[in-house]
A and B are shown apart, each in its own frame.
Chain A
Amino acid sequence: MTGAVQYAVDLRMPGMLVARALRSHLPHARVLSIDTTRAREVPGAVILTRDDLAGTRSRFGPVFKDQPVVAIDKVRFVGDLVAVVAAEDLDSADEAISLIEVEYEALPAVFDPREALLPSAPILHDPADFVDGSGTADTIQPGVEGFEGFPDGNLCCSAHFESGDTAKGFAGADRIFEDTYSCDPIQHAHLEPHAALAYWEGPGSLVIHCSTQDPWVVRSELAYIFKVEPSAVRVIVPSVGGGYGGKLYPRIEPVVAALARKARRPVQWVLTREEVFMTLTRHGASVRLKTGVTRDGRLIARQVEVVYDGGAYAEISPRVVVQNAPVAAGPYRIPHVSVDCHAVYTNKPPAGAFRGFGVPQIVWAYESQMDDMAHALGVDPVELRRKNLYQEGDAYLTGERLDGVGVEQCLSAVAAAIPPIARSGVREGQPRQRLVRGRGLACSIKSTMTPSNSVASVRLDPDGSLQVLASGVEIGQGYTTILAQVAADALGVSLERVRVLKPDTDVTPFDHGTKSSRLTFTVGEAVRRATIDIRGQLLDMAADKLEVARDDLVIEHDQIRVRGTNVVLGIPDAFKARFGLPVGNLYGDAVVQTTGGLAHGTYRGKDSAFWMWSAAAVEVEVDTQTGKWRLVRIASAVDVGRAINPVQCHLQNEGAATMGIGAALMEGLVHDGGQPLNSSFVSYPVPSMEDVPQDFQSVLVEAPHPDGPYGAKGVGESGLLAVAPAIGNALADALPGVRLRNLPMRPADVFAALSGAATQPGEAPR
């Protein structure tokens, strides 16, 4: 009634304890001893250390089981969990934490992924730790994805993709461009911190309420860790206050469950903001990009090397690497492509899924280079892109046919929304104005996790209300509304009749996770099919009662009507006609399994159930005295296939683009010797409303996809991908000779580049 929503942080249970953690202050160290003698004297304190992991599989992870529930032999980054304490209140838990004595032996640490690959680098993980198994089928499918093997030293995983013959391609190129681009790691900054509340209903039966985007993976991983049947683990997910990938895969759930097991009481743990910063990041990355192009502007060869900084644990890095190798060459028809993607262990917080899943770092590289090439060739940046973009029905690098290709429409829309800056006369030799403007644009491609699986179960009650059971998570993206719209439309009842249940693995069916912009496409389609099934059952009941053919019936305004007449039957009456009383239910179920996957080794097949296409254009104003820049206007166009809820599509687009602005201007985690320097909101601001221009045009392009419900595709990530390079290109347009190649582009960085450009003899003519 108040509109208030319950999150995992709001939950309370009788007898519930609350938790605090002791974390490593060293980036890499052997844990020699943990003495809890004095901490145990704090009344009510229950302490969990490596000594309490007996009877469990002590390591977990969605691909490699390299992440200990709490530190076992070593700590691997500043913030790694050493011990956790549950107590009656946070003060007692804090007191006990302060009394735990840990003896470390500091080890050499490595923070730069390229340095981590040198033979002299300290190794984070003992190869013997990986004998446990290479992964779970829930999250990665080794045979299908061409992924196999274990980490090799600090090289967590690699993927190689090839199409055509790059040597031949470069030999035939008129110009070759080669540059390296990089991105600092950033943090998700979801408003709600990670939170979980766990209790055991018996020795083998665990219940956990948690702020996860992926209840079924939490379930299988907890079952794995505690050696119980998956069905003995019940994962319940309340509303989640933002995710952006930061709540995919188990985070704090294993340790909360272990603590509750030891305490024999419910335990709730809510991370502090500073801890959230140590829990997961977006991969820092460096991208070497070599592109061969003909004089008339056709891209003919591209070689890409992406090195992702994976941090201390593998997390989902292997999938990031495997999923992005086939898309790293961009949304362009390039006959000769070779890609190497690597993820590397370093002594920093683990990196994992983040809106865009490793793609924004690559788009940053290829779209920055695209403008430099256009400039060098004397071609308009829009025309250079148009000449090379994929078109509807094209064959992709993997051999598959591309359906629903809206990228050129996206590009045209943003190019028209934000025209080039009109300039008169020559700029060289003129005194520089304090405020100058530039325009830039960029476009992108992203795949979605394929294959994937979603199940929906829909129940019609005799009162005409429709219950939708599915395991997608409402993380603020509007999933609940979309499912309700789909179900209401498929049955022919009003939106108010539909209720979408929250995930509860004892009740709601399987889903592959709230990730990869997949829910509308998969869960939405499953709900549509399940509801159509119910509709058929209901019409059969009504046809019997009314003694008409089923095809003569329609459902509208919550009633069944004989077409072209005033004869109607209410839904309760249809139930009464069948069951004698308004009792019973009608059930509809559907399983949607997106088909595809790439053949091991060759990477041929169907890479993506649908493709995300987007483009962004911006106009920036730069203060040449200080390097400070602001967005004058922005346009972001995303191909949504079909907008089931246009308002929500616009909001997703705007929200994603705003995250792109943050990554371009102000966000970037800084570590010094492994110590975090800006891991709190005091020193790590995120965009505020004032940082987003008033002139913000969100454009929805609709290139329908044959497999999506009503033609819809996912839209959760698209709007983020092209924003940063569009801004970089606008800065290059505003400031001749200035090209920033690292994100973020802080005013101080622009100033430094400007100072360099000003002192260069023979400033690049633009």
Chain B
Amino acid sequence: MRRFELAQPATVGEACAILAADPSARPIAGGTALLILIKLGLVRPGLLVSLRKLHPPAGITWTPAEGARIAAQCTLQEVVDSPIVREHYPILARACEVVANIRIRNAATIGGNLAHVDPQSDPPPALLALEARIEISGVTSTRTSPLADFLRGAYETDLRPGEIVTGILLPPPPAGSRSTYLKFTSRSSEDRPLASLATVVRVSEGVCQDVRIAVGAAAAVPKRMRGAEEKLRGRPLEQPLVAEVADLVAADIEPIEDLNGDQRYKRAVIRSLVLRALDPAESEGTPST
């Protein structure tokens, strides 16, 4: 382990000022991702800026008009346990609940999870399907960015020097929608996903009124599947349309080949996840695996 200095600012402004002054400094919250990178020698920051003691403390708020704001410092387990999240955004609770194990979930933060942009992570695709916006704070100003724009690539965000993620903003979910998050692991159940799928679907009068599909983990960044959504919108959720949509989603993803599978295999997995999530007969069961 490399030696480093640790700053523990009390305010967001202070944290951003320290980060702006030293471009080699890295923010650290839960540390579950960054410490592995440091240990492997992939990053060697001389200064870590802890975000654990920032004021105001972590919290999750909700209004029917605006939706929810989740403070970035919330741990994944706090998100899982939040009554607000469980009631209005159950797929986010689910996506956070299946991350690694309880020890990791009690340390890792939701803001850190997004800012790290590990390609194989559960929360981002769920947040994409929930149309999250990211609240970003700098030394003097705060801005928001749609999550799709925030996620630039593997381990790459649109954060500028001196900026940190301070919150996640979730619009109210479409009334009467049904959502699913499916995680697929090929090794240990504590493993990161090989592929994952988040869907939010609102069916009324027999047809899909609103549909959002996001695929995670297989490609470099999670991706909304606009073509497949378009194909479903305004049509009844039934076969063979669902199978066609599953094929379309699988074809639209450019999976990264690795030790867990080649493109053909990962597309087969994604196809299977779409079938399970959208097939009314299948998706009644526990949304896991």
A625-B272, A628-B289, A752-B265 as given contacts; A746 in contact with B188, CB under 8 Å: no
The answer on a CB contact under 8 Å between B259 and A626 is no
Interface presence of A666 (CB below 8 A) = yes
Interface presence of B268 (CB below 8 A) = yes
Interface presence of B101 (CB below 8 A) = yes
A625-B271, A625-B272 as given contacts; A685 in contact with B187, CB under 8 Å: yes
Interface presence of A44 (CB below 8 A) = no
Interface presence of A678 (CB below 8 A) = yes
Contact with B along A672-702 (1 / 0, CB 8 A): 0000011010110111101100000000000
The answer on a CB contact under 8 Å between B184 and A628 is yes
Q: Which A residues touch B231, using CB under 8 A?
A: none
Q: How far is the CA of A434 from the CA of B1 in the complex (A)?
A: 47
Q: Which B residues touch A748, using CB under 8 A?
A: 186, 260-262, 265
Q: How far is the CA of A751 from the CA of B267 in the complex (A)?
A: 12
Q: How far is the CA of A373 from the CA of B187 in the complex (A)?
A: 30
Contact with A along B226-268 (1 / 0, CB 8 A): 0000000000000000000000000000000001111001001
The answer on a CB contact under 8 Å between B188 and A688 is yes
Interface presence of B189 (CB below 8 A) = yes
Contact with A along B256-289 (1 / 0, CB 8 A): 0001111001001101100100000010000001
The answer on a CB contact under 8 Å between B265 and A666 is no
A632 smallest CB distance to B (angstroms): 14
Q: Which B residues touch A680, using CB under 8 A?
A: 40
Q: Which B residues touch A677, using CB under 8 A?
A: 259
Q: How far is the CA of A683 from the CA of B187 in the complex (A)?
A: 10
The answer on a CB contact under 8 Å between A628 and B189 is no
A685-B190, A688-B189 as given contacts; A626 in contact with B2, CB under 8 Å: no
The answer on a CB contact under 8 Å between B268 and A625 is yes
Interface presence of B191 (CB below 8 A) = yes
Interface presence of B6 (CB below 8 A) = no
B244 smallest CB distance to A (angstroms): 16
Residue of A nearest to B186 (CB): A747
A687 smallest CB distance to B (angstroms): 6
Interface presence of B36 (CB below 8 A) = yes
Residue of A nearest to B187 (CB): A666
From B188, B261, B268, A685 is in contact (CB under 8 Å) with B188
Interface presence of B3 (CB below 8 A) = yes
B182 smallest CB distance to A (angstroms): 11
Q: How far is the CA of A680 from the CA of B41 in the complex (A)?
A: 13
> What number of A residues sit within 8 Å (CB to CB) of B?
30
Interface presence of A90 (CB below 8 A) = yes
Interface presence of A91 (CB below 8 A) = yes
Residue of A nearest to B190 (CB): A688
B262 smallest CB distance to A (angstroms): 7
The answer on a CB contact under 8 Å between B184 and A685 is no
Q: How far is the CA of A486 from the CA of B127 in the complex (A)?
A: 60
Is chain B's binding surface mostly helix, strand, loop or mixed? loop
Interface presence of A623 (CB below 8 A) = yes
Contact with B along A266-285 (1 / 0, CB 8 A): 00000010100000000000
The answer on a CB contact under 8 Å between A685 and B191 is yes
Q: How far is the CA of A682 from the CA of B40 in the complex (A)?
A: 10
Contact with A along B168-195 (1 / 0, CB 8 A): 0000000000000000101111110000
From B40, B188, B275, A687 is in contact (CB under 8 Å) with B188
Contact with A along B28-44 (1 / 0, CB 8 A): 00000000100110000
From A670, A682, A690, A746, B186 is in contact (CB under 8 Å) with A746
A42 smallest CB distance to B (angstroms): 14
The answer on a CB contact under 8 Å between B189 and A751 is no
Q: Which A residues touch B101, using CB under 8 A?
A: 688
Q: Which A residues touch B271, using CB under 8 A?
A: 625
Interface presence of A539 (CB below 8 A) = no
Q: Which A residues touch B289, using CB under 8 A?
A: 623, 628
Q: Which B residues touch A682, using CB under 8 A?
A: 36, 40
Q: Which B residues touch A666, using CB under 8 A?
A: 186-188, 191
From B36, B259, B265, A678 is in contact (CB under 8 Å) with B259
The answer on a CB contact under 8 Å between B268 and A626 is yes
A625-B272, A628-B289 as given contacts; A686 in contact with B259, CB under 8 Å: no
> What number of B residues sit within 8 Å (CB to CB) of A?
26
From B3, B39, B186, B188, A628 is in contact (CB under 8 Å) with B186
Residue of A nearest to B273 (CB): A626
Q: How far is the CA of A683 from the CA of B269 in the complex (A)?
A: 20
Q: Which A residues touch B187, using CB under 8 A?
A: 665-666, 685, 746
The answer on a CB contact under 8 Å between A626 and B269 is yes
A510 smallest CB distance to B (angstroms): 40
Q: Which of B36, B188, B262, B289 has the most CB of A within 10 A?
A: B188
The answer on a CB contact under 8 Å between B275 and A625 is yes
From A434, A670, A688, B259 is in contact (CB under 8 Å) with A670
Q: Which B residues touch A623, using CB under 8 A?
A: 272, 289
A384 smallest CB distance to B (angstroms): 33
Residue of A nearest to B189 (CB): A690
Q: Which A residues touch B259, using CB under 8 A?
A: 670, 677-678, 683
Q: How far is the CA of A626 from the CA of B184 in the complex (A)?
A: 10
Residue of B nearest to A665 (CB): B187
Q: How far is the CA of A687 from the CA of B101 in the complex (A)?
A: 13
Q: How far is the CA of A746 from the CA of B101 in the complex (A)?
A: 22
Q: How far is the CA of A706 from the CA of B189 in the complex (A)?
A: 44
Q: How far is the CA of A691 from the CA of B191 in the complex (A)?
A: 11
The answer on a CB contact under 8 Å between B272 and A746 is no
Q: How far is the CA of A670 from the CA of B268 in the complex (A)?
A: 23
Instruction: List residues of A (82-102) whose CB comes within 8 Å of B's CBs.
Output: 90-91, 94
Residue of A nearest to B36 (CB): A682
Q: Which A residues touch B260, using CB under 8 A?
A: 746, 748
Q: Which B residues touch A94, using CB under 8 A?
A: 2
From B1, B184, B191, B265, A90 is in contact (CB under 8 Å) with B1
Q: How far is the CA of A327 from the CA of B50 in the complex (A)?
A: 59
Q: Which B residues touch A627, using CB under 8 A?
A: 265
Q: Which B residues touch A434, using CB under 8 A?
A: 272, 282
Residue of A nearest to B1 (CB): A90
Q: How far is the CA of A190 from the CA of B268 in the complex (A)?
A: 35
A91-B2, A626-B269, A751-B268 as given contacts; A686 in contact with B188, CB under 8 Å: yes
Residue of B nearest to A662 (CB): B188
Q: How far is the CA of A138 from the CA of B187 in the complex (A)?
A: 40
Q: Which A residues touch B39, using CB under 8 A?
A: 272
Q: How far is the CA of A627 from the CA of B271 in the complex (A)?
A: 13
A91-B3, A678-B259, A751-B265 as given contacts; A626 in contact with B272, CB under 8 Å: yes
The answer on a CB contact under 8 Å between A690 and B190 is yes
Q: How far is the CA of A678 from the CA of B275 in the complex (A)?
A: 32
A79 smallest CB distance to B (angstroms): 15
Q: How far is the CA of A626 from the CA of B274 in the complex (A)?
A: 12
Q: How far is the CA of A94 from the CA of B3 in the complex (A)?
A: 11
Q: Which B residues touch A752, using CB under 8 A?
A: 265
A658 smallest CB distance to B (angstroms): 12
Q: How far is the CA of A685 from the CA of B187 in the complex (A)?
A: 7
Q: How far is the CA of A670 from the CA of B3 in the complex (A)?
A: 32
Binding site for A on B (CB under 8 A): 1-3, 36, 39-40, 101, 184, 186-191, 259-262, 265, 268-269, 271-272, 275, 282, 289
Binding site for B on A (CB under 8 A): 90-91, 94, 272, 274, 434, 623, 625-628, 665-666, 670, 677-678, 680, 682-683, 685-688, 690-691, 746-748, 751-752
Q: What are 29 A-B interface contacts by the 8 Å CB criterion?
A: A274-B40, A434-B272, A623-B289, A625-B275, A626-B268, A626-B269, A627-B265, A628-B184, A666-B186, A670-B259, A677-B259, A678-B259, A680-B40, A682-B36, A685-B191, A688-B189, A688-B190, A690-B188, A690-B190, A691-B188, A746-B187, A746-B261, A747-B186, A747-B261, A748-B186, A748-B260, A748-B261, A748-B265, A751-B265
Please name the 9 residue pairs, one residue from A and one from B, whose CB atoms are nearest each other, closest first. A625-B272, A666-B187, A685-B188, A690-B189, A748-B261, A688-B190, A747-B186, A748-B265, A685-B187
15 further interface pairs, Cβ-Cβ under 8 Å (given A94-B2, A625-B271, A690-B190): A91-B2, A626-B268, A628-B184, A665-B187, A666-B187, A666-B188, A685-B187, A685-B190, A685-B191, A746-B186, A746-B260, A746-B261, A748-B186, A748-B260, A748-B261
